[in-house]
Amino acid sequence: MATSQSVVGEEQQDNKLKLYSYWRSSCSFRVRIALNLKGLKYEYKPVNLLKGEQSNPEFLKLNPVGCVSVLVDGPAVIFDSFAIIMYLEDKYPNHPLLPRDINQRAINFQATSIVFSAIQPLHNLGILNYVGEKGGPDAKIPWVQSVIRKGFTALEKLLKEHAGRYATGR
Ligand SMILES: N[C@@H](CCC(=O)N[C@@H](CS)C(=O)NCC(=O)O)C(=O)O
């Protein structure tokens, strides 16, 4: 996991981060990407969503919402991938994830917000199970497609003027 850039992060890190995560979860992917871009080492704590481990009482003490990811950094327990990434950005400023320019930052926050609030949570496991219960198993895929299509359409409009090598930034 560590890259050659991780040396800087390791020097600054005096206690080991713990990440409660599930390999196939997109929320977990973004946190792992942020940790790796910053070159931070962490201990991986798997939470198997398919086995319902997110609802275990011990896990709910860390995240009362019952979702991954959760980051534990010494006494700090942080849940929600956006909150975790912003915490990492503040605490470990090496290899910054955000541009300095406030207008460019606002573009990043808008893109983030579309993914965090208009796409991903509308088709997470809990919601999909609910849609399946109420509308039957065939209702799931059209629901997911409609949510993703709407969100990606918005993302494309937002990023049209800003994308380069990356979604925002050249
Ligand atoms: N806004 C939260 C959403 C967390 C979330 O929905 N996590 C999903 C995995 S991507 C989860 O744990 N789902 C479990 C469930 O729905 O029971 C974040 O970005 O961390």
Mean of pLDDT values over 89-97: 95
The predicted pLDDT at position 15 comes to: 67
Residue to probe by mutation, ligand 1, list 59, 67, 84, 127, most atoms within 8 Å of CB: 67
* Residue closest by Cα to atom 1 of ligand 1: 80
Over range 98-120, report the average pLDDT. Answer: 93
Give the mean model confidence (pLDDT) for residues 2-11. 40
* pLDDT, position 14: 57
Q: How many domains in the chain?
A: 2
Q: Residues with beta carbon inside 6 Å of ligand 1?
A: 25-27, 49, 54, 66-69, 80-82, 116, 121, 124-126
If asked whether residues 65 and 12 sit together in one domain, one would say yes
Domain boundary among 65, 91, 117: 91
Q: Are residues 59 and 125 in the same domain?
A: no
The minimum-distance atom of ligand 1 relative to the CA of 79 is 20
Whether 124 is in a domain gets the answer yes
Average pLDDT over the chain reads 90
- CA separation for the pair 143, 118 (Å, rounded): 13
- Residue 109, exposed/middle/buried by CB under 10 A (0-12, 13-18, 19+)? middle
> From the CA of 79, how far away is ligand 1's center (Å)?
10
Report CA(80)–ligand 1 centroid distance (Å): 8
As a whole-number percent, the residues of the chain with pLDDT over 90 amount to: 82
The model's pLDDT over 27-85, given as tens digits with 9 standing for 90+, comes to: 999 999 999 999 999 999 999 999 999 999 999 999 999 999 999 999 999 999 999 99
Do 111 and 84 fall within a single domain?
A: no
Domain boundary among 91, 126, 151: 91
CA distances from 96 to 81, 117, 122 (A): 16, 23, 29
CB 42 within 8 A of CB 18: yes
Residue with the smallest CA separation from ligand 1 atom 4 is 67
